[in-house]
Amino acid sequence: MNTSFMKGFYKMTKEELALEVIDRLKKEYPLADCTLDYDEAWKLLVSVRLAAQCTDARVNVVVEDLYVKYPDVNALAEAPVEEVEKIVRPCGLGKSKARDICACMKILKEEYQGKVPDDFQALLKLPGVGRKSANLIMGDVFGKPAIVTDTHCIRLVNRIGLVENIKEPKKVEMELWKIIPPEEGSDFCHRLVYHGREICTARTTPHCESCCLADICEKNGI
């Protein structure tokens, strides 16, 4: 499909479409908060690892028990992996997630004085941290430009027409960097999560009749 989209008799470029989508989603979802609960940076690192193939809602429940037993970086760094696994098992992939979390906290303790580094490349070197997680930390914790290509983001930007049939997260991220203003990226991705859950759904027919983007969306795949 063409890289631009008809709005009336004017063909918007992808950059123009992106700005229009950003503006409308801002009005629809004024608060663009992360749906993972956290009050310290290291806790977001833990939660985003647990969130792989698990709902944010379930993660938010599971970490409550985890933090009662292991309330800080040092405690979690020294925790037996098997004990952590018992707690995080409801999130799925308990063994690998527990191993990554304990190893990650150990590095924070030994190399960063218990703090989360505010450097993208440093974050990528932490166990269990990929580009999506690193971007989330950079945007939410440190307020730096970030684009978080989770499943909602990838589905919606393809459906809307901001990217064309690209499903690989890094490739989607690179394409979005070209058209999304850096200061808008993090909140834009959070709003895509809200919109993807409420309107532009994955497992049911999307509710286009209630969508604030209906007249500018290419509706790819619908």
Token pair of 40, please?
């310290």
Q: How far apart are CA 191 and CA 89, in angstroms?
A: 29
The vertex-23 CA angle with 44 and 137, nearest 5°, equals: 15
Which among 100, 109, 140, 150 is annotated as catalytic? Answer: 150
Alpha carbon separation from 148 to 10, 82, 123, 170, 179 (Å, rounded): 30, 30, 14, 10, 14
The pLDDT value given to residue 11: 78
| Mean predicted confidence (pLDDT) in 130-146 | 97
2 has pLDDT over 50: no
> What confidence tens digit (pLDDT) does each residue in 158-205 have?
999 999 999 999 999 999 999 999 999 999 999 999 999 999 999 999
> By the 8 A CB rule, do 204 and 164 touch?
no
172 in helix, strand or coil?
helix
What is the pLDDT, as a whole number, of residue 222?
A: 85
On the 0-12 / 13-18 / 19+ scale of CB atoms within 10 A, 73 is buried
Active-site residue, selected from the candidate residues 14, 132, 140, 187: 132
* Number of Cα atoms under 13 Å in the Cβ half of residue 63: 27
**Cβ-contact 96, 69 below 8 angstroms:** no
Please determine, for residue 45, whether its predicted confidence score (pLDDT) is greater than 50.
yes
The residue among 155, 144, 131 whose CA lies nearest residue 187 is 144
Q: Which two tokens stand for residue 157?
A: 């930007």
Determine the residue type at 205: T
Contact 148, 139 (CB under 8 A): yes
pLDDT at 3 (0 to 100): 42
Q: What is the pTM of this model?
A: 0.91
Does 11 qualify as catalytic in the annotation? no
Q: Which residue type, as a one-letter code, is found at position 19? A: L
Q: What is the pLDDT of residues 101-121, one digit of tens each?
A: 999 999 999 999 999 999 999
Is 132 a residue of the active site? yes
Structural domains in the chain?
5-30+149-210 (1.10.1670.10), 41-140 (1.10.340.30)
Q: Name the packing angle between helices 185-198 and 151-160 (round to 10°).
A: 90
